[in-house]
Structure 1
Amino acid sequence: MLVSNQSSPSVPLCQVLFHASNAVKQVLAGQSLTEFLESVPKEQKSAVQSISFYCMRHLLSSQKLSQQLLTKKAPNSLVYALLLVSLCLLSVPKRHAKALELDQLDESVPFYQAFTVVDETVKATQLHKKSAAFKGLINACLRRYIREEEVLWSLLKDDEECQFNYPKWWIQLIKKSYPTQWENVLNAANLPGPLTLRVNRKKIRREEFCQTLTESGIDYQLYGEDAVILNKAMPVQAIPGFEQGLCAVQDAGAQLAGTLLPVKDGMQVLDACAAPGGKTAHLLERADIYMTAVDIDQKRLSRVEQNLKHLGHYSDKVKLLSEDVSDVSAWWDGKLFDMIMADVPCTASGIVRRHPDIKWLRQESDIQKTADLQRKIVKNLWQTLKPGGYFLYITCSVFPQEGEQQAQFIEQTFADACRLEAPGQLLPLATVDNPRPLQDGFFYALFQKK
């Protein structure tokens, strides 16, 4: 059985493999996959993203396989990346044997026949002078893998890093933090997240929006107060009302932020570290407020403006500031805020399923660095909050050092901080009813200033 080719019929697979290999190469060199994909030709981007995301989810096992196939170090980083990508694709039938047998392979899994992978990878080597001379090496490694697949995998059966495809330090930290759930946490985060929408309640009621989905034959399920999770991913341009700003893409876990703060008309609200603006927009949809959104990255802040304009929320009541949020003297006018939403920088360990390169870009030492920065930001922001005001601390992390330990720090540091009920740590966990988790990993702690 051959699942339909993931690339456009007009784009040769060898070109897609070449770009995907360059994506892997750049991630191994420390570049964000999202940044690299911006440079990929538009007509190839979808297929390149599909393959590169899959490779990021299974990178370590491919690296271990390559070590068995190469007698010495790969000639260069491009050849190495081409080998990793092709090994990922050749391993698809082994990883998803049951799904293939039942003809239920997830659409996010790029599946090609073995001979196609080998032939197209060899062609891909010839697209650059650094790899062209090593097409024989690539060909030999891949054909050996096909012949010896069971033996090669048997040598890795007890390798925990290979089994879960995370760095060793990451596995150990998750084990320690969630001793009864750690396997579920790791496995679930290696599955792609569903396409989740937030209905723009300022333009349409969720019931009305869902009616348009039903009329268009789009299956969905409801979550929380404003979320609609599509049962099958699709281009956002094909979603009824998306172009008109009736909805926006936002993870179900991220949408909790808008429901935890009791916003009311006329309030002064600060969204610290606001980009890309999903939570900013959600608060503006829930009440007629004065919003100050601060982010240190001007390029990302421009996205906030674009998103707010698209949804119809940009007005003279919205102030966007490209500043370091921890240096309040540079941007704060001295007027106290009724509410502060602090979605602070973190390792982003909770959104790995949407950004699978994160686990290869992070180092264990990054946790302490981000924790220190988070505390600096909180210390400076607390002084800008009114007595009686609300402070919502958020991270998209599953590491306790960035979550519960920081919430305890806030309680211990500020005598006037009263911790209120909030979800705390949210984990991306698979269940019988939802084998693909409905939300990413987030941490929420809500405080009121006495």
Structure 2
Amino acid sequence: AARALLGLALTLLLPQAVGGNVSYAAHTVVDQSVQALAQLKLPSGLAGFVNACLRRYLREQDELLLKAGEDLQARWNHPFWWVQRVRRDHPQHWQAILAANNRPAPMVLRVNRRRVGRDDYLQTLRAQGLLAEPVGRDGIALAQAVAVDRLPGWEQGHCSVQDLAAQLAAPLLLDGADLPAGARVLDACAAPGGKTAHLLECAELDLLALDVDPQRCDRIQDNLQRLGLKAELRAADAADTARWWDGRAFDAILLDAPCTASGIVRRHPDVRWLRRPGDIAQLAAQQLRLLEALWPTLGAGGRLLYCTCSVFKAEGEQHVRDFLPRHPDAQLLPSPGHLMPGEPAEAWLGGSVGSDNLVGMDGFFYALLLKRPAG
């Protein structure tokens, strides 16, 4: 915990983390880090050690950064194994991926089209002095992050906070699917419910949302209630279909599988320090179990959208490469594949795109699979 907190504090102090300008006062970062360690009740001396490390960094910043350029782990502020893994998976883009992880993520909203038009909501934001631009189909990017209770119409369900990459899920699954009203749709690992809600905002669906954690199901319900949406919720392991599936085929399935979260480091900087190399294989096995278990529940002609917020190929591209030969009835439809953190959104979201500092997606993987009729 102390190591993760120290890494996070150093990230906040790095000039490149915010385009050359530190957005937090140095003394605030140091003081808050020490206070956080004290609250964790860790062995005595750790708080003093972290305090000393941070203050030495501030005194010798220029010299230390120069030396750090010779050390991959220090230079990119990622564990060495992580740097090597990204470099292996994306030899042409690894530096851009790591650099994007060290920059702050934009705050992006998804407008609830069932409650308010995107253009109308954009005008409301601007009238309240919030600088914002339309992005994608339903999105609005804010120039500066704000507390959600400052957003007009938040309690009335006018919008949700959701990155542009996550806003791809609903249109990828629904566009061109020609689903009838009331189509049976499964959101297999639904919490906290952002993609569930977007699906329901886009179409009239008979949607079942699953999550293995009952408390996380409660959070889904809270989000849907705020947005004025309804779905059937069930606490269940999506891979254990015998316990929850009634045998009726789904017309579409969204499988947003648990993953390393390697694509959203810019939102959760501690992830890189908390993960261990063995986590990738462990989570990849869980993802494969889910994919194999859910495929039989999809009806002929139906679509399954597999996604993770990961840039590691073992959690994305490799699964699809292995899955297709085992399932002759599966066809890969046009889909983004691996999206890099910071990548512009226009290619897959369409619509208006703002300046580079307002857009740029989280890292994600998307594969859209069609189930061909037998014979």
What's the TM-score once normalised by structure 1's chain length?
0.72
**Preserved CA contact (<8 Å) 1:184 1:430:** no
**Preserved CA contact (<8 Å) 1:274 1:294:** yes
- Equivalent residue letter for 1:260: L
Aligned equivalent of 1:236: 148
Describe how 1:82-97 pairs up with structure 2 within 5 A.
Answer: none
SS in 1 for 2:129: coil
Aligned equivalent of 2:85: 173
Aligned equivalent of 1:245: 157
- Inter-partner Cα distance in structure 2 for 1:377 and 1:250: 24
Aligned equivalent of 2:367: 445
1:229: Cα distance to partner?
0.8
Aligned equivalent of 1:330: 243
Distance 1:150 1:421, change over 3 A: closer
- Equivalent residue letter for 2:327: F
1:123: Cα distance to partner?
9.3
Distance 1:384 1:438, change over 3 A: same
What's the TM-score once normalised by structure 2's chain length?
0.85
- Equivalent residue letter for 1:377: L
Question: 342, 348, 351: which one pairs with 2:255?
Answer: 342
**Preserved CA contact (<8 Å) 2:17 2:104:** no
1:156: Cα distance to partner?
3.2
Question: 302, 319, 339: which one pairs with 1:389?
Answer: 302
Q: Which has the larger radius of gyration?
A: 1
Aligned equivalent of 2:351: none
Over aligned residues, Cα RMSD in angstroms?
A: 3.1
Describe how 1:114-193 pairs up with structure 2 within 5 A.
Answer: 131=44, 148-193=60-105
**Preserved CA contact (<8 Å) 2:156 2:226:** yes
SS in 1 for 2:279: helix
- Inter-partner Cα distance in structure 2 for 1:303 and 1:97: 32
- Equivalent residue letter for 1:366: D
- Equivalent residue letter for 2:123: Q
1:384: Cα distance to partner?
0.5
Aligned equivalent of 1:223: 135
Distance 1:131 1:395, change over 3 A: same
SS in 2 for 1:350: coil
Aligned equivalent of 1:292: 208
1:251: Cα distance to partner?
0.7
Distance 1:264 1:198, change over 3 A: farther
Aligned equivalent of 1:260: 172
Distance 1:153 1:332, change over 3 A: same
Distance 1:147 1:134, change over 3 A: same
1:58: Cα distance to partner?
3.5
1:333: Cα distance to partner?
0.8
1:437: Cα distance to partner?
5.3
- Inter-partner Cα distance in structure 2 for 1:134 and 1:387: 59
Aligned equivalent of 2:8: 56
Q: Within the alignment, does 1:275 sit opposite 2:195 as a pair?
A: no
Aligned equivalent of 1:19: none
1:178: Cα distance to partner?
1.7
Aligned equivalent of 1:196: 108
SS in 2 for 1:198: strand
- Equivalent residue letter for 1:231: A
- Inter-partner Cα distance in structure 2 for 1:396 and 1:434: 21
Aligned equivalent of 2:356: 434
Unpaired runs of 5+ residues, structure 2, are 345-353
1:303-332 CA-to-partner distances (Å, cap 9, x unmatched) read: 101100010102xxx211111111100111
Describe how 1:292-331 pairs up with structure 2 within 5 A.
Answer: 292-314=208-230, 318-331=231-244
1:375: Cα distance to partner?
1.1
Q: Within the alignment, does 1:360 sit opposite 2:282 as a pair?
A: no
1:155: Cα distance to partner?
4.0
SS in 1 for 2:186: strand
Aligned equivalent of 1:414: 327
Q: Percent identity?
A: 42
Of the structure 1 ranges 162-171 and 432-441, higher mean CA displacement relative to structure 2 is found in 432-441
